[in-house]
């Protein structure tokens, strides 16, 4: 198992030395860009980590698929990904209790794959949403599951690549790869 973290603008400082990967929040909706993303990614790269960027999908019933497509474009144009970086979609409920539908999630993932076919794309989702509320199991190139329990042992039957197992003191994750080189190879292969 490899070890890593995910960070957002709420993490002005973090330790990446000794980690294998860091996934940085890049964008949300069609207007928000994490002002710290470039600095956070640069720090992770300096420490030899594989870097990823994620987008928080804003959606709700009735939101047009054109607006979801616009979010996908906004993400790929503003995340700052380089060759070999991982892209991710954060699909969960927002602070107002809304979430994108499964069809909106799928549309976003397919649009990002179309716009950035040379990048691996994963779906971040919590166990409850993945196992009980999803109307589909499309996850692009892999699943990043949030389930706060023992690292590497989420309560799902599906194959996962990344597991967020705690958020204290920050979001900690493991990845199901034999080595950092194996993760880098996977991230660089289309």
Q: What is residue 61's predicted lDDT score, i.e. its pLDDT?
A: 83
What are the CA-CA distances from residue 156 to residues 34, 90, 125 (Å)?
Answer: 31, 18, 12
Q: What is the pLDDT along the chain (190 residues), one digit of tens a residue?
A: 999 999 999 999 999 999 999 999 999 999 999 999 999 999 999 999 999 999 999 988 888 999 999 999 999 999 999 999 999 999 999 889 999 999 999 999 999 999 999 999 999 999 999 987 666 789 999 999 999 999 999 999 999 999 999 999 999 999 999 999 999 999 998 7
Q: What is residue 135's predicted lDDT score, i.e. its pLDDT?
A: 65
How many angstroms separate the CA atoms of 88 and 161, rounded? 12
Taking alpha carbons only, the member of 155, 152, 72 closest to residue 117 is: 72
Q: What is residue 133's predicted lDDT score, i.e. its pLDDT?
A: 65
How many domains, in total, are found in the chain?
1
CATH number for position 181 = 3.20.20.80
Instruction: Enumerate helices (H) and strands (E) in the chain, giving the number of each.
Output: 5, 9
Element (H, E) at 184: helix 180-188
Q: Which domain holds residue 146?
A: 2-188
Q: What is residue 137's predicted lDDT score, i.e. its pLDDT?
A: 84
Contact between 37 and 80 (Cβ < 8 Å): yes
């Amino acid at each position: 198992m490899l070890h890593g973290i995910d960070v957002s603008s709420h993490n002005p400082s973090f330790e990446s030395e000794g980690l294998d990967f860091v996934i940085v929040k890049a964008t949300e909706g069609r207007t928000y860009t994490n002002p710290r993303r470039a600095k956070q990614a640069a720090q992770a790269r300096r420490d030899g980590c594989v870097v990823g960027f994620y987008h928080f999908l804003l959606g709700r019933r009735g939101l047009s698929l054109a607006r979801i497509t616009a979010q996908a474009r906004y993400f790929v144009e503003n995340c700052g990904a380089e060759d070999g970086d991982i892209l991710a979609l954060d699909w969960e409920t927002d602070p107002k209790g809304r979430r994108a539908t499964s069809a909106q999630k799928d549309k976003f993932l397919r649009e990002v794959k179309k716009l950035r076919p040379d990048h691996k794309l994963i779906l971040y989702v919590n166990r409850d949403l993945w196992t009980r509320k999803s109307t589909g199991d499309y996850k692009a190139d892999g699943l990043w599951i949030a389930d706060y329990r023992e690292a590497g042992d989420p309560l799902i039957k599906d194959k996962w690549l990344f597991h967020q197992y705690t958020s204290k003191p920050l979001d900690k994750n493991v990845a199901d790869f034999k080595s950092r080189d194996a993760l880098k190879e996977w991230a660089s292969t289309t």
